[in-house]
Amino acid sequence: IADGIASADQRLAREEALTRTLAGRNPDLVVWGESSVGFDLADRPDVARRIAALSREVGADILVNVDARRSDRPGIFKSSVLVGPDGPTGDRYDKMRLVPFGEYIPARSLLGWATSVGKAAGEDRRRGDRQVVMRTGRDVPSGQGDGLRVGPLVCFESAFPDMSRRLTRDGAQLLLAQSATSSFQHSWAPRQHASLAAVRAAETG
C-alpha cells in the first residue's frame, strides 16, 4: 500500500514504473489499483498507447481503473478497463455500487453541506448498469497462454456477495477487486477489505 498520490500524471508514472519490474517474469495479467488512471483513454490516445506498450513489454494484458469524465456520455465514472498489446480491448466495467458520501452525496440538495466539512464527493460519480466478465489474453501471441475469464469489482463492491456470485455464474474464473486504500490505510479498514476478499473467494469456490 502506497500513500495517496494526488496527481493523475504521478499516479500513471508510478504504475508504469511498478509494471516494468514485471518484465521477464511472465505474468498472466497485470492489475492496477482503483483510480490508477485519471484520464478517459478515448480522450487520451497517448495514454492508451503508453499502457499498450507496457502490455507488450511485460507480455500480459493490463487491467487499469479509470476515474475520469467519459467522452461518450455525461459524468464521471470509475471504470475497470482492459488494455492489451494493441490498446484497449473493448472490455469495460463501470462501477455500479458507489460509496455514499465518498463517491456521491445521497439527497445532495439536503446533504450537500457535507462537502465543506470533510472529503465528501464534490461531484457525484455515475453508476454503471451491468456487470462484465472480461476475457484476457485475446491479443497475446499464440502459445503464451489461453487467457482468463475475469470478473472485476471496484473496492466497496467486494462487500456485496451477490455481485461475486453473479460474476462466477456468468463464467468468471478469477474475481478481482481494484481498490485504493491510502486514505484509510492506518485504520482497521484495509484488513477488513482483505478479509472480505477471502470470504467472497470461499463463497464462490
**95 noted as active-site residue:** yes
The upper half-sphere exposure of residue 151, i.e. CA atoms within 13 Å in the direction of its Cβ, equals 22
Q: Which of 78, 95, 103, 157 is catalytic?
A: 95
In tens, the pLDDT along 99-135 reads 877 776 776 666 665 665 666 566 778 889 999 999 9
Q: Which residues pair with 79 in a beta bridge?
A: 66, 94
Q: If you average pLDDT over every residue of the chain, what do you get?
A: 86
Query: SS3 of 74, please?
Result: coil
Strands (E), 42-197: 61-69, 76-84, 87-94, 134-135, 149-154, 174-178
Domain ranges of the chain: 8-204
The percentage of residues in the chain with a pLDDT greater than 90, rounded to a whole number, is 56
Rounded to two decimals, what is the model's pTM? Answer: 0.86
Q: Which of 15, 78, 103, 155 is catalytic?
A: 155
In tens, the pLDDT along 157-194 reads 999 999 999 999 999 999 999 988 766 667 777 888 88
Angle between helix axes 161-169 and 189-204 (nearest 10 degrees) is: 40
The matching CATH number, chosen from 3.10.20.600, 3.40.50.800, 3.60.110.10, 3.40.50.200, for 8-204 is: 3.60.110.10
The yes-or-no verdict on residue 142 having pLDDT over 80 is no
Centre a 10 Å sphere on the Cβ of residue 173 and count the other Cβ atoms it contains: 14
Q: Which of 15, 34, 103, 157 is catalytic?
A: 34
**155 noted as active-site residue:** yes
Choose between 71 and 146: higher pLDDT: 71
Residue 154 · residue 167 · CB < 8 Å: no
Q: What confidence score (pLDDT) does residue 114 get?
A: 62
Confidence of residue 1 (pLDDT cuts 50, 70, 90): very low
